[in-house]
Amino acid sequence: MKYLDFPIGTHKVNGVDISFRCFGSGPLIVLLHGYPQNNLIWHKIAPLLAQDFSVLAPDLRGYGESEKPDASNGDHSIYCKKTLARDVMELVDRLGHGAFHVVGHDRGARVAHRMALDFPDRILSLTSLDVTPSQAAFEAMDASLAFAWFHWHLMRQPYPLPETLIGNSAPQYFDFLMERWCATEGAISSEFMEKYRKSFCNPAAVHASCAEYRSVELDLEHDEHDRGRLLDCPVLVLWGADTRKRPGWQTGSSLNMVEAWKERARNVNGRALECGHFIPEEKPQELLAALREQFASIGQE
């Protein structure tokens, strides 16, 4: 079956309606998307993973078809990673699963990291796609990283400034991000690009994503509380090496991706892939092979 043929479900968990696709059988893999996309980013690899695993691909709170709570009151707990992690964990519980693997791209990797900190007995492995831990990135912020992460600094501004600026030209803003962050021509089809654009370009989605980025203020407080805690689960780190259109991305001039994760986990391995930011769509076969190798190494293949 094609990914779009798998049915969409919705459950109310942690007080919000979360939309998801869940299919396959076997050990569970949770796939968490990033910004500015939704669960559709997994359409190339999820059906193949489902040949051997159960696959759960939700839309994070505030994204895709999931509920988008209003956070204009400045309450960062509405969209902080602790909250999003609990959303996903309650969804897993609701679907009757125990321990699982989690694969996160972009924002999804930050949620996955928080899940591994808050629910360590439930995470079999963590795979981070094109993400440096938030705390490491902000503490090493330099001019090149700040340039690459202009959207962070824009969306962190108080409500309603970023919502107004982005909302006034949402299609142009979205197209700029997707073009700059993708390094593989034709990797994202016009069909899926239009689906992402339609999902992103509405006021509720723009507000929710800004609120989620603003919540990094609280995320960093939570990270500081957990400073020095090392994850016990195996961690696979993959990132896009082609940063010609996004110089400074994730690491700036001083960070090393693997070393940054080694400061937060006991068992880390990783490598760069010749692509841009959207690994699941730019390098699906390479990602699939890396995931299978990771799962096999811990007896889950």
Q: Which residues are catalytic?
A: 106, 277
In the block, residue with structure tokens 């440096």:
132
Beta strands 100-105 and 235-240: pairing type? unpaired
Angle of CA points 41, 4, 101, to nearest 5°: 50
Give strand pairing partners of 18: 11
